[in-house]
Amino acid sequence: MPSRTETERESASNSSNNREQESQWEFNDNIQSNDNGATNNNNTKHKKRKGNSRSRTAHPSMFTNRDTEILIIGTGPFGLSTALCLARQGYTNITCLERSTEIPATKASPNGRDMPHHLFSTKEYIGELDLATRLSYEAKQLWKFDPVFKRSYHPVGFMYAACDVAKLKRDVNPYLQYNADAVLLDTPEKIKRIVPIFEGDLKDWCAYFLHKDEGWVDVLESLRSAYLECVNLGVKFQLGEKGEVVQINTDSATGKVISVVSKSGDVYTADKYALCAGPGIAKLIKFQLQFKPRLFIDSLIRISAEEAERFRGHTVVDNVDRGVFYAPVEENDHYELKASSELYNFPSEEEYLKNPEAIDTEAKNKIRLFLRDAFPSFADRPFVHFKLSYVYESADRNVMLCYHPQFSNLVVAPSDSIMESFMLMPVIGSYIAKVINHGVESLSKEERELWKWRSII
Ligand SMILES: Cc1cc2nc3c(=O)[nH]c(=O)nc-3n(C[C@H](O)[C@H](O)[C@H](O)COP(=O)(O)OP(=O)(O)OC[C@H]3O[C@@H](n4cnc5c(N)ncnc54)[C@H](O)[C@@H]3O)c2cc1C
């Protein structure tokens, strides 16, 4: 096992210190809540605190009243997770604004028909953790055990595949240090032994079977479940035109956000604001991350109930050279199988718009090639849905989570920067909530460094 560097040791110790301190503060805060008669049910009007009468070993969190008004913009996985975490901590004055007319939001990039499920591929924890791995591990525990999320978690196993063994080993190599049990399957026959649903010859396919504990999570169900729990805990929601933020009013003299305005003209004020609008944040503040575009292909084909049956509980197989398929979704009297892939040598969005037919054809051919390899009987069926979408992730593939450098009451948490961040949903809210309440100082040194403000504007 590799020995830990000084930085890793420091960050591990920082983070465990932080965790211990956080729970200590939560304990104090809970007593505070009881003193104030606050309950998790926000129908009970929260009494305004007159002052802070707590112990002399004061931490900044002590100055965050449970009735602090917190406005969360955006109810994707990051916004909902934040609202849920704050509500569970007993915060009684949380409002979420969402431009979509329903939650899960239909306009959010990954939701709805285009993205019924998400891959879930955490690295197994064996003790030596970088930040991404630790977060994945924490998230996985919550997917497994948190009553809000556990129904959406499907640990059916995860296989990372390719059509070139050398490339596969190279790609999977960083994984292996966390997953000593990963098994190399270097022939199609070995893959089929573990995933017997394939009917095609899987020409040149090879794979690593990574872990039985991994698989997929149901995006819509998990968002819905978090939303319902938030409603139970008294979080308020404004949707549609009342929830679509079109303007953020700031005061440069005080360095604060003073209100936000919705499309309907409603003005909302709060003590603290959290911008969790995914890619939508660039419309609201001067913000530009250094982006790396990726071009995704999503397709749906119609299959029968009998055909769908054989996919039940199947291991997720993600072939980077071909594509990935998801558990079929029931649609009235039939099922739809989703097959997705990615075009790696894609043109810019501008070039695409000049000649969309050629790129669409290339994308369709790629999906058909994938189906021919894996499920030839589906390969020539018409697509009931086909879509190409550009997705942008930050050049360094890190989440951003910090206070805005100019506005001391605005937390900025854009996550669409990484492809893997949906799976962080159960845990990310606790970090955002921590920053809202205790500032970035409450994060570990490593978290602060990786999640810092890095807009190029
Ligand atoms: C094609 C695709 C595939 C992906 N695959 C995976 C995967 O396999 N595994 C994984 O873990 N992650 C995956 N991701 C990434 C993941 O889905 C995103 O990182 C995640 O959804 C981002 O969460 P978010 O809450 O920051 O933003 P979003 O999900 O974009 O949510 C933002 C919310 O803010 C709302 N909003 C925006 N502007 C405003 C406004 N002005 N006023 C009010 N509300 C507003 C939106 O309607 C939306 O509800 C994928 C993403 C895409 C697009």
Task: Indicate the domain borders of the chain.
Answer: 6-37+53-114+220-288+397-450, 158-211+291-394
Residues with CB under 6 A from ligand 1: 73-79, 97-100, 105, 107-110, 115, 118-119, 243-245, 276-280, 284, 296, 389, 391, 415-416, 419-423
Mean pLDDT per segment of 10 residues, for the chain of length 457 residues?
33 35 29 28 33 39 77 96 98 96 69 51 54 83 95 88 90 66 89 93 92 80 96 98 97 96 98 92 78 84 92 88 88 87 81 87 96 96 90 77 94 75 92 96 93 76
129 alpha carbon – ligand 1 mean position (Å): 26
CA 164, CA 344: separation in Å to the nearest integer? 16
Helix (H) or strand (E) holding 208: strand 206-211
Phi, psi of 438 (to 5 degrees): -120, 0
277 alpha carbon – ligand 1 mean position (Å): 8
176 alpha carbon – ligand 1 mean position (Å): 29
| Atom of ligand 1 minimally distant from the CA of 262 | 42
Nearest to 312, CA basis, from 156, 198, 119:
156
Strand extents, DSSP E, 344-415: 383-394, 402-403, 410-412
| Residue range 271-330, pLDDT digits in tens | 999 999 987 888 898 876 666 778 889 899 999 999 999 888 888 899 999 999 888 888
Question: Are 148 and 233 within 8 A, CB to CB?
Answer: no
Ordered DSSP codes for 28-55: HHHHHHHHTT--S-TTSPPPPP------
Nearest to 75, CA basis, from 448, 398, 429:
429
> Which whole-number Å values give the CA distances from 444 to 26, 79, 137, 339, in the listed order?
18, 22, 17, 39
Write the CB contacts of 64 (distance below 8 Å, at least 6 apart in sequence).
Answer: 437, 438
**Are 6-37+53-114+220-288+397-450 and 158-211+291-394 in the same CATH fold?**
no
For residue 59, what pLDDT is reported? 42
Residue 343 neighbours by CB distance under 10 Å? 16
CATH number of 6-37+53-114+220-288+397-450: 3.50.50.60
**Rounded to 5°, angle at Cα 19 from 443 and 449:** 20
CATH number of 158-211+291-394: 3.30.9.10
108 alpha carbon – ligand 1 mean position (Å): 6
Residue 193 neighbours by CB distance under 10 Å? 10
415 alpha carbon – ligand 1 mean position (Å): 7
pTM for this prediction: 0.82
Instruction: Give the burial class of 397: count Cβ atoms within 10 A of its Cβ; 0-12 exposed, 13-18 middle, 19 or more buried.
Output: middle
